[in-house]
């Protein structure tokens, strides 16, 4: 009891800094020092990925960033190290602390941003189990109708993980931002599961339009594409237990041009039901939301895709503590992929 009171007093006195320090007690002092040195290098390289004027410099920075990150993650118990000074790098822990996912982007040229990332599993012995993610979205004509592996990932910078379960299987829904083209952005909704061998599996028949006035086939992932300078909202609301987003319409009379789409003040979304996300049309929200009010939640990214570092850090510290607790308990069962059909 005394230890618990002492811990609470320290949190009150020192706040998030103490929580982070407590979470890092699993990391030895020497490893912690090495990780801090590596983080300083990563901070410089992550800035060059986007902001360096010379494409050759950005390319070298990309290669060096990946090598340095992997070298850092190989250190024992690196899973608990938050890398909280890396602006522009999304670092999200799963709510059940079984893994974390790191995503970022690299500016190849003025027309193309490539998303990059990796999934780090929470290993009881502190060793590294890492799944690199390879973005092939620029080569994909039909991204909405396929199950994908880490080797043909539809890239995004993730800002939210929503954990759901159905019939003993865990489903992790990822919400992400894609700096898609010079004139448009995308936001993605993707379900992540793990195969029996532990490999990450992206997508599946999880997006149903069964309640729509005009039914559409089941989709394997979902996105919205919209005008570059438009402000759109796409996030999970825990009170409604739904993913809500703006209903979009074209500005002019060219509906085929997604880079003209902007919010019209209405909303639509998805509700979790029997192991699927079921679409809710905008007409239903007229009876749920008043005066266009959008139930806002704390977001890891703002409406323009910029990372909210404070919220990201707060969530990171919370999940690191959960991960540390999970380390001393019985490991969670590995989630398995939902059978098709």
Report CA-CA distances (Å) from 249 to 62, 202, 259, 265, 268: 37, 28, 10, 10, 13
Q: Report the share of the chain in percent with pLDDT over 70.
A: 75
* Contact assessment for residue 175 and residue 158, using Cβ atoms and an 8 Å cutoff: yes
The average pLDDT across 307-317 equals 53
Which pLDDT belongs to residue 137? 84
Mean pLDDT of 45-52: 89
Compute φ and ψ for 6, nearest 5 degrees.
-60, -40
Residue 263 pLDDT > 90: yes
The residues near 117 (Cβ < 8 Å, ≥ 6 apart) are 101, 102, 103, 104, 132, 133, 135, 153, 155, 158
Lowest mean pLDDT among 137-151, 245-259, 294-308: 294-308
90, containing H or E segment: strand 90-93
Instruction: Return the DSSP state at 224.
Output: E
pLDDT band with cut points at 50, 70 and 90 for residue 178: very high
| Nearby residues of 291 by Cβ (< 8 Å), 6 or more positions away | none
Give bridge partners of residue 235 from the DSSP assignment.
244
pLDDT (mean) for 227-252: 92
- Chain centroid, CA 296 distance in Å: 18
Closest CA to 203 of 259, 140, 121, 130: 140
- pLDDT surpasses 70 at 221: yes
The β-bridge relationship of strands 276-280 and 207-208 is parallel
Return the ∠ at Cα 73 (arms to 72 and 79), rounded to 5°: 130
With contact defined as beta carbons under 8 Å apart, do 319 and 93 qualify?
yes
When pLDDT is cut at 50, 70 and 90, the band that residue 310 belongs to is: low
pLDDT band at residue 299, thresholds of 50, 70 and 90? very low
- Alpha-carbon 113 to chain mean position: 17
Q: What is the pLDDT of residue 59?
A: 92
Per-residue pLDDT, 339: 40
CB 133 within 8 A of CB 117: yes
Q: Which of 179-183, 250-254, 335-339 has the lowest mean pLDDT?
A: 335-339
What is the reported pLDDT for 81?
95
Q: Are strands 207-208 and 222-227 parallel, antiparallel or unpaired?
A: unpaired
Least confident of 85-89, 138-142, 231-235, 287-291: 287-291
Q: Which two tokens stand for residue 200?
A: 């990450």
Region of residue 326 (phi > 0: left; psi between -120 and 50: alpha; otherwise: beta): alpha
Segment 91-148, tens digit of pLDDT: 999 999 999 999 999 888 777 788 999 999 999 999 999 999 999 887 888 888 899 9
Q: pLDDT for 2-34, tens place per residue?
A: 343 333 333 333 333 433 444 444 899 999 999
pTM given for the model: 0.78
Mean pLDDT along residues 149-175: 95
* Backbone torsions φ then ψ of 296, nearest 5 degrees: -80, 145
* SS3 assignment, position 92: strand
């Amino acid at each position: 009891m005394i230890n618990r009171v002492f811990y609470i007093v320290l949190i009150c006195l020192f706040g998030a800094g103490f929580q982070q320090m407590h979470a890092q007690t699993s990391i030895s002092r020497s490893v912690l020092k090495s990780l801090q040195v590596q983080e300083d290098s990563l901070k410089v390289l992550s800035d060059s990925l986007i902001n360096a004027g010379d494409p050759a410099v950005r390319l070298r920075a990309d290669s060096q960033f990946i090598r340095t990150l992997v070298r850092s993650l190989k250190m024992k118990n690196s899973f608990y190290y938050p890398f909280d000074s890396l602006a522009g790098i999304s670092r999200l822990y799963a709510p059940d602390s079984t893994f974390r996912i790191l995503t970022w982007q690299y500016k190849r040229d003025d027309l193309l941003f490539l998303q990059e990332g990796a999934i780090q599993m929470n290993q009881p012995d502190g060793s590294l189990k890492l799944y690199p993610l390879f973005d092939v979205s620029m080569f994909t004509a039909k991204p909405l109708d396929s199950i994908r592996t880490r080797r043909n990932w539809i890239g995004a910078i993730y800002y939210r993980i929503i954990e759901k379960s159905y019939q003993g299987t865990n489903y992790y829904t990822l919400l992400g931002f894609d700096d898609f083209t010079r004139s448009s952005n995308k936001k993605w909704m993707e379900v992540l599961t793990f195969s029996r061998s532990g490999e990450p599996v992206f997508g599946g028949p999880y997006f149903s339009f069964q309640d729509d006035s005009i039914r559409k086939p089941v989709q394997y992932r979902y996105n919205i594409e919209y005008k570059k300078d438009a402000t759109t909202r796409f996030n999970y609301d825990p009170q409604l237990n739904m993913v809500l987003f703006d209903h979009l319409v074209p500005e002019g009379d060219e509906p085929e041009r997604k880079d003209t789409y902007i919010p019209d003040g209405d909303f639509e979304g998805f509700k979790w039901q029997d192991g699927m996300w079921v679409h809710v049309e905008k007409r239903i929200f007229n009876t749920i939301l008043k005066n266009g009010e959008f139930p806002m939640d704390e977001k890891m990214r703002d409406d323009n895709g910029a990372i909210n570092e404070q919220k990201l850090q707060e969530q990171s510290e919370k999940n690191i503590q959960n991960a540390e607790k999970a380390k001393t308990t019985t490991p969670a069962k590995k989630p398995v992929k939902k059978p098709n059909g």
